[in-house]
Amino acid sequence: MLVGIPLDQSNNTVKPKECASEMSAYIVEVAETRCKRSFAKVFNYFAPRLRSYALKQMGNEALAMELVQDTMSNVWQKAHLFNAEKGSPSTWIFTIARNIRFDMLRKLQNRKEDVCSDDLWPILCEQTADANEASLDQQVTLEQIGYMFESLPVKQKAVIEAIYIDGKSQQEVADELTIPLGTVKSRTRLALQRLKGMLHDND
Amino acid sequence: MIKFHPSPEQLTAFAEGTLSPVESLMVSAHCDMCSRCETRVADEVERAALEFDEPATSSHTEDQIYKSMFASITQVPADEATYLSPKAAPSAIELDGRKFELPRTLRRYASSMGNWSGLVGRLWQAPVDLGEAGVAHFIYMGRGGSVPEHTHRGCEYTLVLSGEFCDGLNTYDSGDFIYMNGEHTHAPHSDDTEGCLVFSIVDQPLHFTSGIARLLNPFSHLFFR
């Protein structure tokens, strides 16, 4: 499989600065000539480091290796997006790994948020999301609420007004109107149901 | 001038990718407008990447995994798609004939946001669906526009995109990053002749504290959530 491409660990002892320019050169080589030998240098240097970062972040060997693989795949496929003037190879690869981790975690937690790493850190993206017309209904204005409020039966309106506008407790309202507490509660419930119904009809 | 920034901890967590998606979105949009924070985040990323300068060893088993990983990665050709030029996405939103340029992070929402709807008091809002993270809103306060006084059950993040507004606690200018929680009661309003556009995310319905707006409480999830 890997005939002629030695997977040695010799890069581990190289000083960071020299290493950065050396790695930069390899990545550029990968971008320009798809050179597997150059990619092997980058891969051998970063894969174990990525694994140790990923293990700390994900706490799981399988996920850590998935993160290593996804990150290095991106380095291989998108090497042309690396720009040595903007930062070191370490920084670039770190940001790729960070983004993949961010999206992996969201997926693991089953959170289908519309916030993905490409929006936050567009280091590898040139594509923009499709413009899907999201139409949110449930739009009501204060005026409409006021109108709906006016249309409530008088008794319900009095209770709602006392509780929600004057901020009185249900007991206070009961005392004031000399009606049982249970009646205040049921009028409140009925009124809110009615308002809810009107809000839905409004859609 | 920008006076309100995310905390140093938020900036670090954002750089490391450990901040929550919603907070990340707000911090990211703020950094688009604030070069100070943008620089700090870049510094933090560099610092975090120093971890890769440390030596790392691998066991024989791992080496075997790396070998097959290397083989499968290099079987795939370069990503041609990335050579395509980016599709031009709208970078501004419009309201009442006025155009507002959006910070980069929020641009994708220019095409997916819902319609503007008028609320009371020269107040307009348009929802942005963030899936399970909730609903964010672009909120526009025309001159003299105001949001009824309210407190928060959860957290409210607001980024001023254009113009300025005050809320009885402070005055906020374009780029300001504002965080509010249950401890804060405020009543935002804008006296800016140009009005004020903000982007706001609330993770729990607001709780209105005064006047007829109290009537909104049972339904406030329909408004600002």
Question: For a pLDDT cut of 90, what percent of chain B falls above it?
Answer: 40
For residue B217, list chain A residues with Cβ-Cβ distance below 8 A: 164
CATH number of the domain to which A163 belongs: 1.10.10.10
Residue A78 and residue B79: Cβ atoms within 8 Å?
yes
Q: Tell me the mean pLDDT in the region A81-88.
A: 89
Q: Is residue A193 part of a domain?
A: yes
**Does A114 lie at the interface with B, CB-CB under 8 angstroms?**
yes
Residues 119-148 on A with a CB inside 8 Å of B are: 119-122, 124, 126-129, 131-136, 138-143, 145-146
- Given A85, A120, A155, the domain boundary residue is A120
Predicted pLDDT of residue A82:
92
**Does B54 lie at the interface with A, CB-CB under 8 angstroms?**
yes
CATH number of the domain to which A68 belongs: 1.10.1740.10
- Given A120, A151, A167, the domain boundary residue is A120
Residue-wise pLDDT tens digits, A27-76? 999 998 889 999 999 999 999 999 999 999 888 999 999 999 999 999 99
Check whether A173 has a pLDDT greater than 60: yes
What is the C-alpha radius of gyration for chain A, rounded to an integer number of angstroms? Answer: 31
Q: Is residue A170 part of a domain?
A: yes
Q: Tell me the mean pLDDT in the region B51-59.
A: 85
Residue B85 DSSP symbol: P
Check whether B113 has a pLDDT greater than 70: yes
Same domain as A108, residue A156? no
Same domain as A107, residue A16? yes
Same domain as A111, residue A189? no
Of B83, B105, B117, the CB nearest to A119: B105
Q: Is residue A103 part of a domain?
A: yes
Q: Is residue A125 part of a domain?
A: no
Using DSSP's 3-state secondary structure scheme, residue B195 falls into coil
Q: Is residue A3 part of a domain?
A: no
Same domain as A99, residue A14? yes
Q: Is residue A126 part of a domain?
A: no
Residue A4 DSSP symbol: T
Residue B55 and residue A12: Cβ atoms within 8 Å?
yes
For residue A50, list chain B residues with Cβ-Cβ distance below 8 A: 52
Same domain as A101, residue A34? yes
Same domain as A111, residue A53? yes
Same domain as A106, residue A48? yes
Q: Is residue A194 part of a domain?
A: yes
Q: Please state the domain count of chain A.
A: 2
Q: Testing the interface with B: which of A68, A83, A94, A203 to mutate, by most B Cβ within 10 A?
A: A94
Higher pLDDT, B144 or B221: B144
B8-16 vs B35-49: helix axis angle to the nearest 10? 50
Among chain A residues, the shortest Cα distance to B80 is held by A77
Written in H, E and C, the secondary structure of B10-51 is HHHHHHHCCCCHHHHHHHHHHHHHCHHHHHHHHHHHHHHHHH
Q: How many CB pairs under 8 A join A and B?
A: 215
Higher pLDDT, A11 or B197: B197
Q: Is residue A129 part of a domain?
A: no
**Does B64 lie at the interface with A, CB-CB under 8 angstroms?**
no
Same domain as A150, residue A89? no
Nearest to B52 by CA among A86, A8, A21, A92: A92
Residue A76 and residue B76: Cβ atoms within 8 Å?
yes
How far away is chain A from the Cα of B122, in angstroms, using its nearest Cα?
12
What are the structural domains of chain B?
Answer: 8-49 (no CATH), 92-223 (2.60.120.10)
Nearest to A78 by CA among A129, A118, A107, A136: A118
Domain, as residue range, for A190 = 142-201
Same domain as A106, residue A15? yes
